[in-house]
Amino acid sequence: MSKRISLTQYLVEQQRRHGRITAELRLLIEVVARACKRIAISVNKGALGEVLGSASSENVQGEVQKKLDIISNEVLIEANEWGGHLAAMASEEMDTIHVVPNRYPQGEYLLLFDPLDGSSNIDVNVSIGTIFSVLRKVNNQRGVSEEDFLQPGKQQAAAGYCVYGPQTTLVLTLGEGVMVFTLDREQGSFVLTQEDLRIPEDTREFAINMSNQRHWAAPVTRYIDECLAGKEGPRGKDFNMRWVASMVADVHRIMTRGGVFLYPWDKREPDKPGKLRLMYEANPMAFLIEQAGGAASNGSQRIMDITPAKLHERVSVILGSKNEVQRAVSYHLEAPSD
């Protein structure tokens, strides 16, 4: 087997050979990867690290924060604020943006993250992960504000996630394909284990929380009912279902073997377009999925075309194998508008 290269060597080559990334973006990705290694150490300690359970506080989403949510958020903030590559950061765990303090130089990038996605799985030892998205600060005339973050996902410079599962795996796109890096714990570094990952355009596996079935809109009910009807139904093939309730784990499975993931709008909270957050969950995952040959829609438009109005805006999500996403979207477009 040819010698595997480290994340650092890969990024240096992308900068030096291909001019694909700036030195600042290379530093940003390396710092985020190092922070993910630090988070993995805390996650892997579990009960031994006194890091399980809730922190008896709520985040801006009104969700009870786990201790590890807060630890992971702090690790990412501390790791990224001194390097000079960032102007500011935004997180699921923080109400407002975190501007790089004046004692440090400011850079051209904006970093958004869900520091520990899938927190409900922490205490039951099921895979969780960190999701991140990188934007460029467009307006260089003045300081930085929340408005600088409100860019559609197609403006992302990079995106990725780190899944803390049986392996600790970093999946990254710089806008030209998807690479997979696996943490070599002996070396303590991420090693390139797959280049140019591609998602099969068809699948027999869907991921949705079936307990919400009675709350779905008609197009989602139609799509899932047809999958459940199997080979005797209109699809002419049987489907399997998976739902980890950790977006990183469900998306990583889809990145690895195909599938379709749905977290649609439902009647439980009709004023919200969906549960998942656009800027630091749906957009980075949509970027990765599209770069791997898949599709990502909110049911009526490409997720990465949505211009956010608010930092913590939510969105309905259908993503994964292209042909399945297109079918589910077609059912939405055929449905009579309310």
Map residues 259-288 to x or -, x wherever contact with ligand P6P holds by CB under 6 A.
Answer: ----x-----------xx------------
Determine the distance from the C-alpha atom of residue 150 to the mean position of all C-alpha atoms in its chain, rounded to a whole number: 17
**Largest separation between any pair of C-alpha atoms in the chain:** 66
**Cβ at position 120, least distance to ligand P6P in Å:** 5
Determine the distance from the C-alpha atom of residue 63 to the mean position of all C-alpha atoms in its chain, rounded to a whole number: 18
Site size toward ligand P6P (CB under 6 A) is 11
- Closer CB to ligand P6P, 275 or 322, in the complex: 275
Residue 227, classed as helix, strand or coil, is helix
Strand partners, 90: 112
Non-local CB neighbours of 176 within 8 Å, separated by 6+ positions: 20, 291
**Cβ at position 121, least distance to ligand P6P in Å:** 8
Non-local CB neighbours of 124 within 8 Å, separated by 6+ positions: none
- Closer CB to ligand P6P, 219 or 264, in the complex: 264
Using the rule CB under 6 A, is 247 a contact of ligand P6P? Answer: yes
Using the rule CB under 6 A, is 245 a contact of ligand P6P? Answer: yes
- Closer CB to ligand P6P, 108 or 123, in the complex: 123
Residues 16-75 that bind ligand P6P (CB under 6 A): none
Using the rule CB under 6 A, is 93 a contact of ligand P6P? Answer: no
Residue 265, classed as helix, strand or coil, is coil
Amino acid at 200: P
Residues 205-244 that bind ligand P6P (CB under 6 A): 209
| Separation between Cα atoms, residue 90 and residue 292, nearest integer Å | 26
Stretch that binds ligand P6P, among 5-13, 42-50, 112-120, 181-189 (CB under 6 A): 112-120
Kindly tell me the burial class for residue 221, based on how many C-beta atoms sit within 10 Å of its own C-beta (0-12, 13-18, 19 or more).
middle
Residues 114-133 that bind ligand P6P (CB under 6 A): 117-118, 120
Applying CB under 6 A, which residues contact ligand P6P? Answer: 117-118, 120, 209, 245-247, 250, 263, 275-276
